[in-house]
């Protein structure tokens, strides 16, 4: 049995569905959390406080002021310091639970790195804001038979779906093709209230805890949907979808995981920014900071270099070579900025 502090978790272990055995399972649990934003920060906070032993935080971004109303792990100091979200989140989480193993990974989940980032986990949790990452997680988990918890929130609405490959509908059963750009509301167009993210993240965390303690029969087999503004709560039966000939969970097709789909520049939800992924990974951040010093004000740390390269345009380059161009949602312009100041 995995060791844990019985006094610390005394109230949690009195809950019969967990008990000492369940708490030991939580202590031995390994979770990969993709995204540390509005949903992910709630999930991470809940799981670390619950005593989950190992948590890998995978996130591609940095905290912004517009994140603070809903991303509960970050504060104004994090925005000023400019550390990547995964690194800042890990620092806060270690202060909450020093016994937890927190592994921050500053990266965008891609077909090339999915295996390295998700392997070894017991469960994957969705804290992302984009369907490309979700389709990658769905395909990787379906291929390897790993459970994962999907969540999403926009406006005052939210949804959660626990996916058990081979037993329940998968994401592609629900969404056969990724939505066309601009076809769905985003944080930019519809906004979002903090309580919606809190509720969805809390439900995702509860689903994860159920799975880690072995209560698979209690995991949500239906999609849970809520509208906090209209006080609507409902669940949707997806049994019929699971019985269809899904190309992924029934047919074994993995186009996102195999790199046949995805990989384009990505407009970031809730921000006037575009992410550009390089053809080759890695960059010398020190050399880049020196080059950009002649262009404008530069802030640098071991994970990221940020520079005001043009009026209204900020360029942030990560150690893995990714760049985020803030101040535009035009993908062509973002590529042009990266090419001009970083290189092709």
Catalytic residues: 187
Give counts: helices (H), strands (E), the chain: 13, 14
Structure tokens at 24: 């030991």
Backbone angles phi, psi at 101, to 5 degrees: -90, 110
- The C-alpha torsion from 329 through 330 and 334 to 340, rounded to 10°, is -140
Which residue from 344, 225, 326 is spatially nearest to 278, judged by alpha carbons?
344
Exposure of 1 in the CB half-sphere (CA atoms within 13 A): 11
Cα separation of 120 and 105, whole Å? 15
Cα separation of 175 and 179, whole Å? 8
Cα separation of 316 and 338, whole Å? 9
Which residue reads 């272990």 in tokens? 13
Which residue reads 């790195």 in tokens? 113
Angle at Cα 68 formed by Cα 92 and Cα 80, nearest 5°? Answer: 70
Structure tokens at 328: 């535009």
Backbone angles phi, psi at 272, to 5 degrees: -85, 75
Using an 8 Å Cβ cutoff, are 107 and 15 in contact?
Answer: no
Where does 19-84 have alpha helices with state H?
19-28, 38-50, 76-81
Backbone angles phi, psi at 86, to 5 degrees: -60, -40
- The C-alpha torsion from 137 through 184 and 44 to 301, rounded to 10°, is 90
């Amino acid at each position: 049995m995995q060791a844990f502090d019985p006094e610390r978790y005394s109230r949690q272990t009195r809950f019969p569905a967990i008990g000492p055995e369940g708490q030991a399972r939580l202590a031995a649990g390994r979770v990969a959390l993709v995204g540390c934003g509005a949903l992910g920060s709630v999930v991470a906070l809940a799981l670390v406080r619950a005593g989950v032993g190992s948590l890998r935080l995978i996130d591609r971004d940095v905290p912004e002021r517009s994140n603070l109303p809903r991303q509960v792990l970050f504060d104004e100091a994090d925005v000023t310091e400019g550390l990547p979200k995964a690194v800042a989140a890990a620092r806060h989480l270690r202060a909450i639970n020093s016994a937890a193993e927190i592994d921050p990974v500053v990266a965008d989940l891609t077909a090339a790195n999915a295996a390295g980032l998700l392997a070894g986990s017991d469960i994957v949790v969705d804290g992302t804001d984009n369907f490309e990452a979700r389709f990658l997680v769905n395909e990787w988990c379906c291929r390897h038979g790993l459970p994962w918890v999907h969540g999403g929130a926009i406006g005052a609405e939210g949804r959660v779906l626990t996916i058990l490959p081979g037993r329940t509908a998968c994401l592609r059963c629900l969404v056969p093709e990724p939505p066309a750009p601009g076809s769905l509301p985003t944080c930019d167009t519809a906004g979002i209230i903090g309580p919606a993210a809190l509720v969805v993240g809390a439900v995702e965390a509860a689903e994860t805890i159920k799975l880690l303690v072995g209560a698979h029969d209690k995991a949500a087999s239906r999609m849970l949907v809520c509208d906090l503004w209209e006080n609507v709560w409902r669940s949707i039966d997806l049994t019929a979808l699971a019985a269809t000939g899904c190309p992924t969970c029934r047919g074994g097709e993995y186009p996102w995981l195999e790199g046949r789909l995805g990989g384009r520049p990505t407009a970031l939800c809730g921000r006037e920014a575009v992410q550009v992924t390089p053809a080759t990974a890695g960059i010398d951040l020190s050399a880049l900071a020196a080059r950009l010093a002649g262009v404008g004000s530069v802030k640098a740390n071991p994970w990221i270099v940020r520079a005001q390269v043009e009026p209204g345009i900020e360029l942030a380059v990560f150690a893995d070579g990714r760049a985020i161009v803030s101040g535009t949602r035009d993908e062509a312009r973002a590529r042009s900025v990266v090419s001009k100041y970083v290189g092709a």
